[in-house]
């Protein structure tokens, strides 16, 4: 959309100064480094210019999205984080799926699924890991985001240890797998549909909603905007 | 980002970049004053860590395929299914689509990831005829797909928690689920250890050598 090179978002600070890197460094060191931004993927440096809402600043050589602000992103992210906490909390405790075959029936909750591995002593560690990946890490991440963003949105000074909290939240991102679990449910259902009759509990629909919420969260989260707000 | 001149890396400019919050600091700065992240011009021992996690992932992937993933007990029989065995079983029942999905998710994608990470690490050490931008894309695909491989472990969890119907049928997890999870997590850590900035330090192959490849 606006990520074409013709869109003047930011310019390379060393532009036109030739390949002598030592000269460039000396020239830049005197300037305000705070106005520069480095692509975390390829180390390219640009002069950061805040793009218009809904527009994006993209790295010219590796196309990593560097800045992507959205109007009222803070409020939306807080709403999504609250919804994630409520949904996972409720989905963890209420029945999630129920099967019936040959006159026997059985229901399980999300936590029950995680703890299925604990039946074997050898798989105890796996039970804890799965419970962490699908319940505890997603909830912790949502709580950290609430803790960091609420003061920013209310125009208050950042919360104590907000930087460490946001850093932890970012580090946990790959390990928050609630949405992977939701897709896993779909696969499991296909596998047992010919073996037994399946009923969906309320928690199943909650986890389906979660997949959409997590996509929304990734769309509205502009890390650059959060870090610059925490700097003030 | 509009670039009127040549793109310069932070290291070439005598700076060190924070990979967490994108702030730049003078070279030699220990930690980022904005976000607290430790700063390194390039992640130390990046390739060694990649190879260490990669090896653990590959080693764990072997028992993940030898041992059963699921143990199904019915009134008349007990059946142990490995990953590939389970897919073959489903295919024999006529569900070719599902069998293909399972084989893709648990065999093709893990092996593809091992090859891709190894290829990227070798390309940093020995150069490559593939363009840097293309290798960066490959890296991002590997990083994105990594966590989705856990789907197999979750399916085993759901099945064995749900299908507990006394004598009629019951499913319990097999030891392969642990090895598969270890393999997925080690591969994710291997990909995370890779500092993609290393890809951009090397020269881009000239267009001439790339067209020879094609």
Q: Examine the pLDDT at A6 and tell me if it is beyond 50.
A: no
Tell me which chain B residues have a C-beta less than 8 angstroms from the C-beta of A134. 154
Model confidence pLDDT, tens digit, residues A102-140: 788 888 888 888 888 988 888 889 999 999 999 999 999
In which domain, by residue range, is A208 found? 73-231
Tell me which chain B residues have a C-beta less than 8 angstroms from the C-beta of A108. 158, 161-162
Model confidence pLDDT, tens digit, residues A37-46: 999 999 999 9
Which three-class secondary structure state does DSSP give residue B150?
Answer: helix
For residues A39 and A113, state if they share a domain. no
Model confidence pLDDT, tens digit, residues B62-78: 999 999 999 988 888 88
Q: Examine the pLDDT at A1 and tell me if it is beyond 70.
A: no
ipTM of the shown complex: 0.85
For residues A117 and A181, state if they share a domain. yes
The angle subtended at Cα B172 by Cα B166 and Cα B176, nearest 5°, is 170
Q: How far is CA B82 from CA B43, B78, B88, B109, in A?
A: 38, 13, 10, 17
For residues A101 and A60, state if they share a domain. no
Tell me the shortest Cα–Cα distance from A173 to chain B, in angstroms: 10
Tell me the shortest Cα–Cα distance from A91 to chain B, in angstroms: 14
Per-residue pLDDT of chain B (214 residues; tens, 9 = 90+): 455 457 888 988 889 999 999 999 999 899 998 888 999 999 999 999 999 999 999 999 999 999 999 998 888 888 898 999 888 888 888 778 878 888 888 899 999 999 999 999 999 989 888 899 999 999 999 999 988 889 889 999 998 998 888 778 888 999 999 999 999 999 999 999 999 999 998 777 765 555 444 4
For residues A175 and A105, state if they share a domain. yes
Query: Domain end: A30, A52, A69, which one?
Result: A69
pLDDT attached to residue B165: 84
User: B23 in contact with A at a CB cutoff of 8 Å?
Assistant: yes
Q: Which of residues 98-127 of B touch A (CB under 8 A)?
A: 98, 101-102
Would you call B21 and A223 a contact, using CB atoms and an 8 Å cutoff? Answer: yes
For residues A226 and A124, state if they share a domain. yes
Taking the CB of residue B195, how many other CB atoms lie within 10 A of it?
Answer: 23
Residues in CB range of A39: below 8 A, 6 or more apart = A45, A46, A59, A61, A62, A64, A66, B17, B22
Query: Domain end: A48, A69, A90, which one?
Result: A69
Query: Domain end: A21, A36, A69, which one?
Result: A69
User: B141 in contact with A at a CB cutoff of 8 Å?
Assistant: no
Split into its structural domains, chain A has a count of 2
């Amino acid at each position: 959309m606006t990520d074409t090179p013709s869109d003047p978002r930011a310019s390379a600070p060393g532009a036109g100064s030739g390949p002598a890197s030592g000269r460039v460094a000396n020239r830049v060191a005197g300037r305000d480094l705070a106005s520069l931004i480095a692509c975390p993927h390829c180390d390219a440096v640009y002069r950061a210019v805040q793009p218009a809402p809904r527009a994006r600043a993209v790295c010219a050589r590796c196309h990593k999205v560097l800045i992507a602000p959205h109007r009222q992103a803070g409020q939306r992210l807080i709403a999504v984080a609250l919804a994630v906490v409520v949904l996972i909390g409720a989905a963890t405790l209420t029945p999630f799926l129920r099967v019936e075959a040959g006159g026997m029936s059985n229901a399980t909750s999300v936590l029950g699924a995680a703890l299925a591995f604990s039946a074997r002593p050898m798989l105890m560690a796996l039970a804890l890991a799965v419970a962490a990946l699908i319940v505890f890490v997603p909830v912790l991440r949502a709580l950290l985001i609430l803790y960091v963003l609420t003061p920013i949105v209310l125009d208050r000074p950042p919360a104590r240890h907000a930087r460490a909290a946001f850093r932890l939240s970012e580090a946990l991102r790959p390990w928050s797998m609630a949405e992977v679990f939701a897709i896993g449910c779909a696969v499991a259902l296909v596998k047992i549909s010919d073996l037994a009759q399946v009923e969906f509990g309320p928690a199943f629909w909650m986890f389906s909603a979660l997949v959409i919420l997590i996509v929304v969260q990734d769309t509205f989260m502009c890390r650059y905007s959060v870090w610059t707000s925490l700097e003030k | 980002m509009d670039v009127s001149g040549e793109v310069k890396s932070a290291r070439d400019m005598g700076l060190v970049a924070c990979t967490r919050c994108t702030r730049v600091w003078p070279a030699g700065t220990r930690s980022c004053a904005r976000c607290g992240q430790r700063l390194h011009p390039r992640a130390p021992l990046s390739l060694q860590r990649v190879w260490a996690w990669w090896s653990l992932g590959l080693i764990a992937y072997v028992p993940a395929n030898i041992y059963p993933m699921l143990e199904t007990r019915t009134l008349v029989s007990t059946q142990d299914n490995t990953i590939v065995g389970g897919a073959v079983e489903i295919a024999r029942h006529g569900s070719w689509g599902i069998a293909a999905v399972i084989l893709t998710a648990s065999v093709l994608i893990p092996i593809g990831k091992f090859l891709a990470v190894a290829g990227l690490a070798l390309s940093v050490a020995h150069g490559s005829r593939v363009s840097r931008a293309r290798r960066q894309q490959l890296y991002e695909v590997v990083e994105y797909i990594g966590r989705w491989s856990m789907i197999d472990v979750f399916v085993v969890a759901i099945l064995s928690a749900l299908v507990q119907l006394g004598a009629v049928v019951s499913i319990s997890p097999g030891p392969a689920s642990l090895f598969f999870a270890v393999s997925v997590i080690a591969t994710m850590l291997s990909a995370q250890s890779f500092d993609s900035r290393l890809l951009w330090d090397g020269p881009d192959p000239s267009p001439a050598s790339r067209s020879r490849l094609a």
